[in-house]
């Protein structure tokens, strides 16, 4: 039991024994296998070869720490610069743009909010408490950022699964320092009208952040394939910063995202500098201190292994799987696709009184893990290039689960509607 003082072994144990115990614990607890085709909740999978390259590169640099790159590991500077340069190019950033590799989407978002706040303090101080305006479906980490930085977050209800730009415009005050759009948002997978949000920001001299944590490494390839995706990146003039996760559809191991800035002059608002300290100057461009170098080497390796063409092929296969899933589930009474999602994440709501919590529990009991939506009640799926293979079994299973929910054989019991832990 955690909290007991009797668990730290006085003598060490051998690795083979420990490895076996770790494996046994996984099995005993019924952990989901991350790359299971039934893991539709939290798996971004570019295939076994891509994963292996990521892990091998990660292992090569696993002892190194990016915080010491300028003194101990200078190669990491250029490796990281390559990753940022590729991401900037992919997202149509202009000359003079820059970026930072972070440990994940939440850190990228915290960093963007901090940068915008410092930019506002320096260039257009507000009379009251700073505010950020965001659509209600923007990621929860913006609220975490606001809480940490003493900012008010104003979440404006979405309309038809998208940011309601007019309602966001109505919410702007003299204290607004930042407006947020998603490309795409997590709950339903829609890209907001970033162009309209850009005009709003221009009018009010306010920072525009586009959260592309899920879509950043997917949508550019969908656009290239001719899929209809509204303009969402730095090609929209007033986008100041973007977050895009390498460890999602970038298919790299966990612990890597990028936060990109249109103008490298704004880096001055991002960095943390502290010198009144016994060990000298402490300078970081991130929220984290130590950063896993392995994640950066892995991102570099995976991006160079796949190339633009490799990503495009994975996105093409994912979009084909998405079409088959959408068409298959369109035949099921009681389910309705939420809007017209732009990327590889799709969500379905219940109609005609179908209890979607019970449906999700029935699917979970049968080994299918999906995400959840509560307003409206439904489920969410993150699809990958291989997801075409699960369309039929998923359809069969959900058809049978829905019959059981309707007959009362399955009722919602656990009320588990959580995103994470």
Ligand X SMILES: Cc1ncc(COP(=O)(O)O)c(C=O)c1O
The site for ligand X (CB under 6 A) is made up of: 104-106, 109, 139, 141, 182, 185-186, 211, 213-214, 245, 257
Closest contact distance (angstroms) between CB of 214 and ligand X is: 4
Nearer to ligand X, 73 or 348 (CB): 348
What is the smallest separation between the CB atom of 182 and ligand X, expressed in angstroms? 6
The two three-digit tokens of residue 235, written as one number: 């090609």
Q: How far apart are CA 244 and CA 89, in angstroms?
A: 13
Least distance in angstroms from the C-beta of 251 to ligand X: 14
Is the CB of 43 or the CB of 141 nearer to ligand X?
141
Please identify, using beta-carbon distances, which residue of 77 and 416 lies nearer to ligand X. 416
Cβ atoms of 174 and 212 within 8 Å: the answer is no
Residue 158 C-alpha from the chain's centroid: 19
Instruction: Measure the CA–CA gap between 333 and 398, rounded to whole angstroms.
Output: 11
Question: Parallel, antiparallel, or unpaired: how do β-strands 345-350 and 257-261 relate?
Answer: unpaired
Separation CA 138–CA 344 (nearest Å): 17
Spatial separation of the C-alpha atoms in residues 19 and 8, rounded to whole Å: 17
Whole-number Cα distances in Å, 26 to 30, 254, 311, 338, 368? 6, 19, 32, 34, 17
Query: C-beta of 253: minimal distance to ligand X in Å?
Result: 12
- Report the residue closest to ligand X, judged by CB: 105
Evaluate the CA torsion angle 107, 113, 118, 119 in order and state its sign: positive
- State which residue, 90 or 242, has the beta carbon closest to ligand X: 242
Nearer to ligand X by Cβ, of 255 and 334: the residue is 255
DSSP 8-state code for residue 159: B
Which residue carries 């668990």 as its tokens?
7
Peptide bond into 184 cis (omega under 30): yes
Q: How far apart are CA 247 and CA 260, in angstroms?
A: 16
List, in order, residues 6 or more apart from 248 with CB less than 8 Å away.
Answer: 44, 105, 213, 214, 216, 217
Comparing CB distances to ligand X, the nearer of 186 and 221 is 186
The answer to whether the CB of 380 falls within 8 A of the CB of 187 is: yes
Q: Which two tokens stand for residue 385?
A: 């290039």
CB of 231 to ligand X, least distance (A): 18
Closer to ligand X by Cβ: residue 139 or 360: 139
**Residue with Cβ nearer ligand X (139 or 262):** 139
Give yes or no for a contact between 196 and 167, defined as CB atoms under 8 angstroms apart.
no
Residue 409 CB, shortest distance to ligand X, in Å, is 33
CA distance 350 to 329: 12
- Shortest spacing between CB 124 and ligand X, in angstroms: 26
Which residue, 177 or 382, is less far from ligand X as judged by CB? 382
Tell me the closest approach of the beta carbon of residue 277 to ligand X, in angstroms: 29
In the complex, what is the shortest distance from the CB of residue 94 to ligand X, in angstroms, rounded to a whole number? 24
């Amino acid at each position: 039991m955690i909290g007991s003082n009797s668990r730290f072994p006085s003598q060490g144990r051998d690795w083979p024994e420990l490895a076996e115990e770790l494996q046994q614990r996984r099995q005993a607890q019924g952990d989901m296998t991350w790359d299971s085709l039934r893991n539709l909740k939290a798996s971004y999978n570019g295939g076994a070869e891509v994963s292996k390259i990521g892990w091998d590169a990660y292992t090569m640099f696993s002892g190194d720490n990016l915080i010491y790159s300028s003194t101990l590991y200078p190669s990491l500077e250029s490796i990281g610069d390559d990753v940022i340069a590729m991401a900037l190019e992919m997202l149509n950033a202009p000359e003079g743009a820059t970026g930072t590799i972070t440990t994940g989407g939440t850190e990228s978002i915290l960093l963007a909010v901090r940068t915008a706040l410092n930019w506002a303090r320096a260039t257009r101080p507000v009379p009251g408490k700073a505010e950020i305006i965001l659509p209600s479906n923007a990621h929860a980490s913006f609220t975490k950022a606001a809480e940490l930085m003493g900012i008010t977050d104003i979440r404006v209800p979405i309309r038809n699964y998208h940011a309601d730009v007019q309602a966001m415009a109505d919410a702007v005050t003299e204290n607004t320092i930042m407006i947020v759009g998603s490309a795409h948002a997590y709950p339903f997978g829609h890209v907001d009208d970033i162009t309209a949000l850009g005009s709003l920001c221009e009018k009010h001299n306010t920072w525009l952040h586009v959260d592309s944590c899920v879509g950043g490494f997917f949508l550019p390839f969908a656009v290239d394939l001719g899929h209809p995706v509204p303009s969402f990146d730095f090609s929209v003039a007033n986008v100041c910063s973007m977050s895009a996760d390498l460890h999602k559809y970038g298919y790299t191991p966990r612990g890597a995202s990028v936060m990109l800035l249109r103008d490298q002059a704004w880096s001055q608002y991002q960095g943390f500098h502290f010198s009144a300290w016994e060990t000298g100057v402490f300078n970081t461009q991130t929220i984290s201190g130590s950063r896993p170098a392995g994640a950066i080497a892995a991102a570099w390796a995976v991006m160079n292994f796949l190339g633009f063409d490799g990503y495009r092929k994975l996105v093409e296969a994912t979009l084909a799987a998405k079409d088959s899933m959408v068409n298959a589930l369109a035949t099921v009474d009681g389910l309705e696709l939420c809007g017209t999602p732009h990327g590889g994440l799709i969500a379905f709501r219940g109609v005609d009184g179908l209890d979607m919590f019970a449906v999700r529990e029935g699917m979970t009991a049968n080994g299918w893990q999906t995400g959840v939506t509560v307003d409206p009640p439904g489920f969410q799926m993150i699809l990958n290039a291989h997801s075409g293979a699960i369309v039929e079994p998923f359809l069969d299973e959900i058809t049978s689960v829905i019959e059981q929910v309707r007959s009362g054989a399955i009722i919602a019991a656990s009320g588990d509607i959580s995103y994470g832990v």
